[in-house]
Amino acid sequence: MAEAPARDRLRHRFWEKVPLQHMTPAEWEALCDGCGKCCLNKLEDPDTGEVALTRVACKLLDDETCRCTQYDIRHQIVPECITMTPASLREHAYWLPETCAYRLLAEGRPLPGWHPLVTGDPDSVHRAGVSVRRMTVPEFEVDVDEWEEFIIEEPV
């Protein structure tokens, strides 16, 4: 008998009742809305700590799906890619997108109505205009010294 897909093993509305550190791996992964914003390169002001989002995307981001093309082996290709866990969330939440489910739940806020877990539709994030679909520039096309020219406001 085939194993049920991970999404079928999720507890009903788990994000409203299960603390982040008690979620199953499938529940944790399901929190990702697929917006792709975490895969955009950011610039941090060393004096203020302010983080600016750029349209310059990680070389592994698929601009159409807003997903990592090599998710399972991304650390072999991009060693600085951060694996989000409840522990790493405490240290790295400040640079996560404002709409990121990990950040929202860590801050005690609810998921937005367009989130795929709420709608049941993985494309709802794109229809809401919150994703980076078709708006990025691959990092290998832009010199790091030019990233400031690609700063954007976060799609929210």
pLDDT score recorded for residue 4? 43
> What range does the domain containing 86 cover?
19-152
Q: Does the residue 1 lie in any domain?
A: no
CA angle 13/26/10 to nearest 5° reads 30
Phi, psi of 59 (to 5 degrees): -60, -15
**CA–CA gap between residue 94 and residue 114 (Å, rounded):** 22
Number of domains in the chain: 1
Please give the pLDDT value at position 90: 86
pLDDT of residue 2: 43
**pLDDT given at position 91:** 87
Per the domain annotation, does 84 fall within a domain? yes
In the chain, which residues have pLDDT < 50? Answer: 1-4
pLDDT, position 93: 87
- Quote the CA–CA distance of 102 and 15 in Å, as a whole number: 10
Report the pLDDT value the prediction gives residue 6, as an integer from 0 to 100: 52
Is 10 inside any structural domain?
A: no
Pairing of strands 137-138, 51-57: parallel
Query: Is position 59 within any domain?
Result: yes
Residue 3 falls within a domain, yes or no? no
Is position 126 within any domain? yes
pLDDT the model gives residue 28: 96
Under DSSP, the state recorded for 142 is S
